[in-house]
Structure 1
Amino acid sequence: MIFIDNEGNTNPKLNLALEEYALRHFDSSTDYLLFYINEPSIIIGRNQNTLEEINQEYIEANGIHVVRRISGGGAVYHDLGNLNFSFITNHDGKSISNFEKFTAPVISVLNDMGVAAELKGRNDILVDEKKISGTAQFSTGKRMISHGTLLFDTDMGEVVKALQVKMSKIQSKGHKSVRSRVANISEFLKAPITMAEFKKQLLIGLYEASEPFETYKLTQAEWKAVHELKAEKYDLWDWNFGRSPKFNIQRNKRFSIGEIDLRIFVEKGLISEFKIFGDFFGRQPVSEIENLLIGVPYDKPQIKNVLKDVSIENYFGQFEKLDFINLVYGND
């Protein structure tokens, strides 16, 4: 097995691009191990509706990345206290959904460190019934990724805030995350250690459980290709938000001008239907706003841009445009 050196990068979009690039382009006769640590970010499962998983207002205010990964499963919060591991191997027809095969070496090392970790359910590692790791898989048919998180010293307060969804009455066919009781590995260690020491101990333990490792450093050309994949995929709103399954939203709120009730249908990230109901009074038909928003990405900056020259009071009376935009996009 070869250990891939990510050279200390903490940008989640770059790390996910590196992981996918290694899966698709590295030697298919070799097994690889990749570690990476991300800046504060929410990593969305491949089949999830992003807006159902995040507190959009909070992540915008705090500069938290939102990135969709290529594997399924639920949304997870990453920060500098979270170590991510990824095994890149051949798909032998038996390994997909065999989470025990890939978590067993990690659990063994944790046990050796005095952490009573065990695999519970389908794909979670628990200590004292608290989740310290979740895992997921993805296969190209010939090659596969088995990757997971290790909550070492994550800010649990941020986990709650970043994943506390405020969007009301949203329905979709996306796979919703199931929140579990979580804990940090550092809570179960007999003596405190740093993230760097934890990473080193884990790597040494995995070395001992396998054939001798060698460390691989990407060439300049390979890093260039990884950055290109990041720019062409992981940097894009279309991948991170627009790939969400079809969904619909009902939003209503009473203002001084009356109640506004919105019904919004979104498909492939674009508003496909938009209806406004309520008991407000306006001079112009709201159908003009409805038609204006059809085909617009369900993205706050783009909605604001489309409405920038619209005199909203013509449709609702004395009413702030920002209040309408916040109602459309879900910031309560």
Structure 2
Amino acid sequence: MEQFRFLIERNNQAYILAGEEALLMSVSMGSSPVLRFVIFDPPAILIGYHQAVEQEVNLDEAKKRGWDIGRRPTGGGAIIMGPWQLGWEIYAEKSFLGDTPENAIRKGAEGVIKTLNILGIRANFRPKNDVEINGRKISGIGAFSEGKFIAVTGTILLDFDIDAMVSVLRLSSEKLKDKLVKDFKDRITWINRELISPIDMQELIKVAKEAFSEVLRVRLEESSYTELERNLINQLVIKYSSPEWIFNLRKPLIGDDIRYVEKKLPGGLIKVQVKLAGKNIIQSILITGDFFIEPRTSIYDLEARLKWSRVDDVEKEIREWFKNVKIIGISPEDLIDLIKGAVE
């Protein structure tokens, strides 16, 4: 049975997210695989790697509440994290978790499902990256990789405040149609809503630790950061607290005549902004959303390909770009139709 290091971190968003990148780097450089549990304190609104803050977050409400805003190194959608939920993270070789991001996400979901089963709650995996109880989401999962190594990260809701979530997130009409059949209270749930007798965070940590150990078939050794990891985290905190990283990495286009379209696809919600020079030249383009893509920076390559290209060349450029990337649940035809739709 393989041995994993086990860590628990309660800290602000910048320190925890810096730890995500640092731990994956450390494991890829030869340190033992890791299971880390995290608690965000103070609360934070976290957007996915490919999202734009202005499109996803109600900045005035976030400021009023005194909540942090952060950008995750993983794809996926905007979430709120706080002392009311447990974050979990697995750092290991891809082969250990099934070689692909989809399989790694499913393996992480098994840990959540096992946790809930121990508590007497029946749950199941909902593709592409959720765990649900009777149709209500209780956990979202993401993944990002470094060579042969992968990080899988997710949440387990212990308690939750739906009104707070709705107030701090900007929810587009397309997402509302898909996610809110009635309202968020019918789409999201949490452990203490499902149990007759509530549990506290310490009990959840104890149960989740047992569940992940069993699902991963590993021994968990109580551990701490290595000197390398501490140094990396202290360096990366600067990045994850930087306005440049949080706000400017994916910034909405500005100016007159910005064409905009969004669509919910099996792989996520995609938002496209296009600015034209004349009728047939794409001057600039921004592609954001809650999708997962490998390599995760390859969306920049597509935007660079399409910048100053002819509209007639969009299909050729996208198909060529698609040869070297993988997007879960999104096809070349989906992107071609969406971008041509924005142009038109």
Partner of 1:52: 55
- What does residue 100 of structure 2 align with? 95
Task: Point out which structure has higher relative CO (alpha carbons under 8 A, 6+ apart).
Answer: 2
CA distance in 2, matches of 1:4, 1:249: 49
2:55 paired with 1:64: no
Measure how far apart 1:56 and its partner are: 0.7
| Gap runs ≥5 in structure 2 | 181-186, 257-274, 276-283, 285-344
Q: What CA distance in whole angstroms lies between the structure 2 residues aligned with 1:53 and 1:110?
A: 30
In structure 1, how many angstroms separate the alpha carbons of the residues matched to 2:254 and 2:155? 31
* 1:1-332 correspondence runs (5 A): 1-6=3-8, 8-26=9-27, 28=30, 30-38=32-40, 39-92=42-95, 94-98=99-103, 99-164=105-170, 179=179, 181-209=187-215, 210-219=217-226, 222-231=229-238, 233-248=239-254
Per-residue CA deviation, residues 226-277 of structure 1 (Å, 9 max, x unaligned), is 122101x101111001001543478xxxxxxxxxxxxxx8xxxxxx9xxxxx
Query: What SS is found at the alignment partner of 1:136?
Result: strand
Aligned residues: 245
CA contact (8 A) 2:7 2:36 kept: yes
- Normalised by the length of structure 1, the TM-score is 0.67
Structure 1, residues 119-141: CA drift from partner, whole Å, max 9, x if none?
Answer: 01211000011100010110122
With over 3 angstroms needed to count, the CA separation of the structure-2 counterparts of 1:201 and 1:54, relative to structure 1, is same
Distance 2:62 2:87 in 1: 21
More helix by share: 2
- The sequence identity of aligned pairs, in percent, is 29
Which 10-residue stretch deviates more, 210-219 or 38-47?
Answer: 210-219
- Cα 1:206–1:57 shift into 2, 3 Å: same
Q: Which of 1 and 2 has greater Rg?
A: 1
Provide the C-alpha distance between the structure 2 equivalents of 1:95 and 1:52, rounded to a whole number of angstroms. Answer: 30
CA deviations over 1:10-39 (Å, ceiling 9, x no partner): 211101111110100235363211110112
CA distance in 1, matches of 2:156, 2:178: 18
Alpha-carbon spacing, 1:89–1:221, altered in 2? closer, same or farther (3 Å): closer
- Could you tell me whether the CA contact under 8 Å between 1:2 and 1:216 is conserved in 2? no
Q: Secondary structure at the match of 2:141?
A: strand
CA-based RMSD of the aligned residues comes to: 2.9
Do 2:112 and 2:156's aligned partners in 1 also have CA atoms closer than 8 Å?
no
